[in-house]
Homo-oligomer: A and B are copies of this chain.
């Protein structure tokens, strides 16, 4: 197994795929699709799926690949890709998104660190592989007699901040055993692309993408969350007054289940539109709850109308597409969208109310200015 980031960046059509995306950085490679293309298909093509990396893109030899399973299990395993593919397979349709999705909207309030993601750091795919619960069972993990408060930690092949450390993260055992949580080797029926974690990644639906590590090297059952700097330090939702460089271990919320959010994908910001009905379309998403209602405004939120919703009943961890035709008079308009979840929670109106220095969990009403006429 070797890490060949320079090679992989020009390998297997990656350059062509990069050209399709809005690239925020090449090393680490971070990119998102244009919003109209994102909204064009309820399942996102692998080539249009956002990429969030923290280091190199490891080039892994599938023949030599092994997944190590250890920690508080009955017996350690070292599984080849063929063995993983020979286990009972599940396919889960799930949305993954970056905790920094829509970060760009926070910059109007004050500067934020990190890549300026628009609303495209999100995508939905069919993920196929063994359920993590089955992998743990194969390693002799006995869920009926396990102690409480266990965690499953992932260690990965990608190196972060140069060669400072390998990427890692963990999830609570209850989520690890949930039927939606997989170790995926395929995305939309095809082997993972290098930038999406070939040959194996975790898929933890409903959680921030940071908890679905790519280029998986090992999984370990342990009695504490991951102490990897990615999880223990970086991905914290902090109050606005907290300096990210002076974060104590108890400061902020460790980002895990993703909050309710929604975005307008069409029309684009700044669009000039002909008179007549305007088709407004986008997505809404909520980590572990159903999106129950989406409201769209043609007048900055003074009045609202309900959008039509489109989703798949068998995919509770996937996004909801919404659409509505608005009859906008000639002139400038600020469109806005807000969603409601099944518990009756909605999004805050103002980016001021969600702003934090790292620009995480940007969930205020999404607003798009257009000119009709």
Contact = CB atoms under 8 A, between A and B. Distances in A.
Contacts of A288: 343
A317 interface: no
B345 A345 contact: yes
A286 to B, nearest CB: 8
B306 A342 contact: no
B340 A346 contact: no
Contacts of A346: 348, 353-354, 363
B344 A347 contact: no
A340 B253 contact: yes
Contacts of A350: 349
A353 B349 contact: yes
A3 interface: no
A280 interface: no
A73 interface: no
A345 B341 CA distance: 11
A363 B341 CA distance: 13
Nearest to A340: B253
Chain A interface size, as a band, is 35 or more
Contacts of A342: 253, 256-257
A258 interface: yes
Contacts of A343: 256-260, 287-288
A326 interface: no
Nearest to A287: B343
A89 B258 CA distance: 36
A175 to B, nearest CB: 13
Nearest to A252: B293
A260 B292 contact: no
Contacts of A105: none
Given A293-B239, A295-B239, A306-B239, A253 B344 contact: yes
A192 to B, nearest CB: 27
A253 B345 contact: no
A262 to B, nearest CB: 12
A360 B340 CA distance: 14
Interface of A: 237, 239-240, 253, 255-260, 287-289, 292-293, 295, 301, 304, 306, 338, 340-350, 353-354, 360-361, 363
25 contacts: A237-B344, A239-B306, A253-B292, A253-B342, A255-B344, A256-B342, A257-B342, A257-B343, A258-B343, A258-B344, A259-B341, A259-B343, A259-B344, A260-B343, A260-B345, A338-B353, A341-B345, A344-B361, A344-B363, A345-B347, A346-B348, A346-B353, A346-B363, A347-B348, A349-B350
Given A253-B340, A288-B343, A346-B363, 20 more contacts: A239-B295, A240-B304, A253-B293, A253-B342, A255-B344, A256-B342, A256-B343, A257-B289, A259-B341, A259-B343, A260-B343, A260-B345, A301-B353, A338-B353, A341-B345, A344-B360, A345-B363, A346-B354, A348-B348, A348-B349
